[in-house]
Chains A and B, each alone.
Chain A
Amino acid sequence: MDKVLFGDNQFFAVNHASDEKARAQSIRFKEDKAIMKVLDDAIDLGINTFMCTTHDRIANICDILRANPEKYKNFNIYPCMPYAHKYANAVTELGIIGTIKQYVPGNLFGTFAKGGMAFVNKDFIKLIELLIDAEMKMFKGINTPVIFIQNVIVDMILGLKMHGVLKAYDEYIRKKYNAEPGYITMNMPALLDVLNSLGIDNPIICSSINKIGFRMSGGIELYEKYLQERQFRPIAMQVLAAGALRPKEAIEYLGKFSNIESVLFGASSKGHIQETKDLIESTI
């Protein structure tokens, strides 16, 4: 993995510190070409990996990448699935079964519905695979060497102790997509313990890592212990703690942990991207 992974929160009005800033971002990135301009800036600066959620608008970005194969031949996308709000809003409106009906493509669920629930009952793994395929459809023909499952799903599975789902995900991503599975979580120590217990060694785990302990559930001491003592491939996100930390002090903190492989960050201006990239590459 590259040391610098470029994120997408800024494009989709996700701002953990300010709804007002989020709205301003949503206005700025109304057009896909505004997103593409920032990605091109990042590429100019030598960033080759875009880590993004499976938001509907990413499908448009993928179209642009496919239309310019030469220009983007070294560009990687790390998809993060699913775009949870799409499903959460659908569950409120349609219920769980209604949501599955809406998002699982075509015939197979039709077969489930006709054949009654008995068929479904036996085949959750197949259902998971179908949902993964539905999310991955937009990335056809694009390099996706690492494929992530979003924190809301990882952490829910963790709490429900449905660990078999993680195992199924891990195996399917390796087998079908020939890619490395990655996990985003707000509960890194607990997740690493579970993955190891499932025989998933040296996993890629993307979690909040910042010196004020923001969104580091289980506590900053435990995080630091795991970062220093355990075998895994950490990606640091929320390193600025939603803007509470200045980039320099934030990245310096990451320098304490030699096994952090990559840092995920998002920015909109070329100057800001350059500054953060330089800081990361000189520290990690």
Chain B
Amino acid sequence: MIKGAIIGLGKMGLSHAAIVGAHPKVDMVAVCDTSSLVLDAFKKFTQVHTYSDYQEMIKKENPDFVVIATPTRFHYAMVKYALENGKHVYCEKPFSLHAYEGEELVHLAQSKELINQVGYHNHFIGTFRELKRLLQTGILGEIVHFTGEAYGPVVIKEKGGTWRSKPEEGGGCLYDYASHVLNLIQETIGRPTEASGSQLKHIYSKGVEDAVYCSLKLENGVSGQLAVNWSDETHRKMTTSLSIIGKNGKIICDATEIKIYLKEPVKKEGLEQGWTTKYITDFAIPVNYYLRGEEYSAQIDNFIDCIVNNKQSVYNTFEQGLYTDKVVEMIIADAKK
């Protein structure tokens, strides 16, 4: 058994705590949060040790890994402390608020040879994995354009008062919602190197943007567009999709299905000319414990497997998370022009 601990018990932290708690190879020894309400719930109903000071927790409990799911502004100090104390670290997205801080953490994790992972869960959704595989086989021919989108009903009226409504703390649609799509574009199609025409739009929030629109150019020369809006109540929950147009057709992919249109059939993939739709039921990654979606368990399973087998993850390394932070900074700089 390896020992794990959780720092930050908000929505994602509780979800991670449940997944880590259910993992057969892990003993979840401790949790840390500043809310006495949440800690007291753990005290009343579980045997897990509770802390309000993460440094004390790491020292006393000496876990093999920590999961950090605090507001983004705390990531740097917490990740740094955990790495310096030799802990493997799983950190929620977005990774860092300032790329120079993220840079330092990437180097620290690499020099200490510690397993590191960031919580961009879309890479653990079977349809998006299939999309990446199909693109790598080149079935679309030369890529002409892409569109990355995400919509959801997070802020649908004028109010707010948590860290998510403060830009300096990593709140706002760009850090919170658009980062998912940017990371997906980055790892599936190519790394963005230039943002233009960026618009950060306020709809209901005062301090932060509720929507992000921009054009992106990727390192491989492909260009496309980003459209993300977290004040869209026509969606029941967050809906993320990528559309890619190539000279030989088009693929539209979301978390539930992947729709492929081909001008010419691709025999080795068994894909005919015209439309083919494939569903998540064929691609879902099997998990031993399910909470809210296979992807949330699958990403933690991946992290734990990497620790047990002492090999770095190919998915969601700190370096990949840092690159997304840099793209976020590109968009902010462009919007200010």
Contacts and interface: CB of A to CB of B under 8 A. Distances in A.
Interface of A: 12-20, 22-23, 26, 85, 88-89, 91-98, 100, 117, 120-121, 124, 152, 155-156, 158-165, 186-187, 190, 212-215, 217-219, 241-244
Contacts of A186: 290-291
A238 to B, nearest CB: 10
Given A89-B153, A187-B289, A243-B279, A96 B21 contact: no
Contacts of B18: 155-156, 158-160
Nearest to B233: A89
A19 B252 CA distance: 12
Contacts of A95: 10, 162
A242 B44 contact: no
Contacts of B47: 161
B270 interface: no
A268 B297 CA distance: 33
A19 B11 contact: no
Given A85-B236, A95-B10, A214 B281 contact: yes
Given A94-B161, A94-B162, A160-B18, A117 B290 contact: no
Contacts of A241: 281
A162 B291 CA distance: 15
B19 interface: yes
Given A18-B279, A19-B257, A215-B284, 17 more contacts: A16-B280, A93-B162, A96-B11, A96-B35, A96-B37, A97-B35, A98-B161, A155-B18, A155-B290, A156-B14, A156-B15, A156-B18, A158-B18, A165-B45, A186-B290, A213-B286, A244-B281
Contacts of A89: 153-154
Contacts of A190: 22, 289
Nearest to B36: A117
Interface of A (DSSP majority class): helix
Interface of B: 10-11, 14-15, 17-22, 35-38, 40-42, 44-48, 153-155, 160-162, 164, 234, 236-237, 239, 241, 254-257, 279-282, 284, 286-292, 297
A17 B155 contact: no
A212 B10 contact: no
Contacts of B287: 217
Contacts of A16: 256, 280
Given A152-B292, A242-B281, A96 B38 contact: yes
Contacts of A22: 236
A161 B46 contact: yes
A203 B279 CA distance: 33
Contacts of B241: 19
B154 A93 contact: yes
A152 B20 CA distance: 16
A19 B162 contact: no
Contact of A17 (B11, B38, B160, B280): B280
24 contacts: A19-B239, A19-B254, A22-B236, A23-B234, A85-B237, A89-B153, A91-B10, A92-B164, A93-B160, A96-B35, A97-B35, A120-B40, A121-B37, A121-B44, A155-B289, A155-B290, A156-B15, A162-B42, A162-B45, A187-B22, A187-B290, A214-B281, A243-B279, A244-B281
Shortest beta-carbon contacts, A-B, top 8: A159-B18, A162-B45, A186-B290, A217-B290, A244-B281, A159-B22, A121-B40, A91-B11
A22 B241 CA distance: 15
A1 B22 CA distance: 31
A93 B236 contact: no
A98 B256 contact: no
Given A17-B256, A96-B35, A159-B22, A242 B279 contact: yes
Contacts of B237: 85, 88
A89 B287 CA distance: 25
Contacts of A159: 17-22, 289, 291
Contacts of A215: 284, 290
B87 to A, nearest CB: 21
A52 B97 CA distance: 42
Contacts of A92: 11, 154, 164
A156 B291 contact: yes
A96 B279 contact: no
Contacts of B162: 93-95, 98
A93 B233 CA distance: 14
Nearest to B33: A96
B22 A158 contact: yes
A17 B279 contact: yes
Given A163-B45, A187-B290, A215-B290, A120 B37 contact: yes
A241 B35 CA distance: 40
Given A17-B257, A158-B18, A160-B46, A217 B289 contact: yes
Nearest to B163: A95
A155 B291 contact: yes
B281 A212 contact: yes
- Name the residue in A12, A94, A159 with the highest tally of chain B Cβ atoms < 10 Å from its Cβ: A159
Contacts of A242: 256, 279-281
B35 A19 contact: no
A8 to B, nearest CB: 13
Nearest to B157: A93
A20 B284 CA distance: 19
B291 A152 contact: yes
Contact of B17 (A98, A160, A165, A243): A160
A169 to B, nearest CB: 12
